[in-house]
Amino acid sequence: MKQKVFWLDLAVCSLWLFVALANCSWWSLPTHFLMVVTVVMRIILSFTLYRGEKRSWIPLTVFSALFALLSVEGPVMRTTGDFADLPFVVMGINNDHLTHNIIKCILLAWLFLGPIAVYIVGLIRKTMKSSTLTWKDALGAILWKDKGTKAYCQLMLIAICALYAGLAMDMRMCRFACVVLPPLSLYLIARYMTSCKDTTEKNPVVGKLWMMVAAMVLFFYAQRYAGMWRVWMLVASIAMVAYVCWRTFGKLGLAGISILATVYLGILLPTLAIGYNQYACIEYGRRGLYTLEPLRGIFYIKDTNTDKVGLRDRYGILVEPIYDNIVHNSRNRPLGIYELRNNGCYTLYNVYQNKMMTSNISDPNLQDSICQILDKYCDRNAYGHRDRLEIRVTNKFKAEIPLSHVKMTRNGINSYYDYSDQPYISEDSVTLRSGEFATDSVVRYGDTFHVLHYSYDVKRDSTVLYNIDLKTARQSTPQHEELNELAKSIETLLKQ
């Protein structure tokens, strides 16, 4: 029981250290360094109490003083608050204030009151033993003198390297950390457990490291795949890790260590290394191994069935992959405002607040339907290379934002949409009435394009409801009947 509580306490302290190191909003302040020292002193205290050292009062006194000081200054409350947020963030559920406060109070009691209670009870029951623990050992030297603490520090340093690689989310750094650090951790764990068992075999895992490397390569490249492909790659990866861990620790009679090592080396450590949970949003693959500015941890996902793109963060999906393209560095937008583009229209998305903002149209469904009509229309009327179409549908009662606005260039059998706010074909100085045509010509790329402009009102019981403004620019002369036919098709959509 004592050993289980020790392992649990060590896990809690390790997570607390990760939270303190991961929070970069105050890393330049001296209090951040003191906060890290506080957590390290708590880890030292955990080891000395587990060994039953009577001189555990030394790290206990230093830890208590730092804990009290930083509780007043704020870092302790900030890190424990971030710690209490982890379950909500990882599971993707709304932060419940009451539950958050309960978790935070339990953490504070465990981290501060727990070691005090253990030390007092140990003194009363006389389970604390006198030892040769020096002041230097109690203040940190034990971390590299004791065999168990040395192994813990080695594994913790590797985990911190994986943490920072994942936070940076640099493709090369993440790949290196994912492929190299888990096998290195396995080697260190195996060496420590072998020394504890006093077996004749010095390095039982060396011949199996290649399989561990192969498992991590599978884990890393599974990011690009979606659905069952990724599921099978991840299953194969964890199965290979489980096999190596069982062959290494199972024959030593350490079934529990084998299971814990499989979970840690096969799931937790590589997940830290790549910087996000790839077990979430498993139906969508990652597009590109880079992140989007200004926040690291925001990146593209892709629906392989439709070739549409969306966004996700480290923990889950942000924007469903229903867009043709997403622009994150537009010169016309503030930092952190993305353009979600689809079928010629765009919606602005605020990545800081995780919410949709304004759109340049008011009826996306109508926009999609018009795009489908235009594809068939262009095929039927033999639109050539660089021929253009612009359709604008407005509600007469709410004309500020158009219902639909499509600016399309034809390139063979493909259509390309323009998303700029600039005039697309030509800027007319004359306003057309319903049923009127206007002609013009423009020169683009050294070729002359013939422009035909047409306006059409959609009525119901003699009341004008909508206006359809159509404009085309073709190298061949466009016919009036073509635009009139297109206007009638759009009118049918509006009356449905």
| Mean predicted confidence (pLDDT) in 262-283 | 93
Q: Which of 19-28, 192-201, 286-295, 336-345 has maximum average pLDDT?
A: 336-345
Whole-model pTM?
0.84
What are the pLDDT digits (tens) for 134-188?
Answer: 888 778 788 888 888 899 999 999 999 999 999 988 889 999 999 999 999 999 9
pLDDT of 8 > 80? The answer is yes
Q: What is the mean pLDDT of the chain?
A: 87
15 and 138 in a single domain? The answer is: yes
pLDDT one-digit tens code per residue, 88-103: 887 777 788 888 899 9
Q: Which CATH number do you get for residue 409?
A: 3.30.450
Number of domains the chain contains: 3
Residues 391 and 384 sit within 8 Å (Cβ to Cβ)? no
CB within 8 Å of 270: residues ≥ 6 apart: 162, 178, 182, 216, 219, 220
Domain boundary among 109, 129, 145: 145
Same domain, yes or no, for 461 and 441? yes
Q: Which of 359, 388, 415 is the last residue of a domain?
A: 359
Distance CA 161, CA 14 (A): 14
Q: Note whether 13 and 152 are within 8 A (CB).
A: no
Residues 345 and 376 in one domain: no
What would the mean pLDDT of 370-391 be, rounded to a whole number?
86
Measured CA to CA, the distance from residue 75 to residue 95 in angstroms comes to 21
Residues 92 and 6 in one domain: yes
Assigned token pair, 59: 């790290």
Q: Considering only 50-54, 202-206, 249-253, 478-482, which range has the smallest mean pLDDT?
A: 202-206
Is residue 277 within 8 Å of 297, Cβ to Cβ?
no
- Residue 238 resides in a domain: no
pLDDT band for 221, please (50, 70, 90 cuts).
very high
Residue 143: exposure state from Cβ atoms within 10 A (0-12, 13-18, ≥19): middle
72 in a domain, yes or no?
yes
pLDDT, position 50: 87
Long-range contacts of 377-385 (CB under 8 A, 24+ apart): 377/482, 377/485, 377/486, 377/489, 378/410, 378/415, 379/413, 381/482, 383/410, 383/474, 384/410, 384/474, 384/475, 384/476, 385/410, 385/411, 385/412
Q: Cβ neighbours of residue 288 under 8 Å, at least 6 residues apart?
A: 299, 300
pLDDT at 311 over 90: yes
**Which of 7-11, 197-201, 252-256 has the least mean pLDDT?**
197-201
At 308 the three-state DSSP class reads strand
* 368: CB partners within 8 A, 6+ apart: 343
Cβ neighbour number for residue 455 with a 10 Å cutoff: 20
Q: Which residue has the higher pLDDT, 356 or 196?
A: 356
**For residues 212 and 244, what is the distance between their CA atoms, to the nearest angstrom?**
7
pLDDT at 198: 64
Q: How far is CA 417 from the centre of its chain?
A: 29
Owning domain of residue 403: 364-495
- Do 428 and 403 reside in the same domain of the chain? yes
- Closest by alpha carbon to 214, among 184, 246, 236? 236
pLDDT value of residue 11: 92
pLDDT of residue 206: 65
Q: Whose CA is closest to 20, among 86, 105, 71, 79?
A: 79
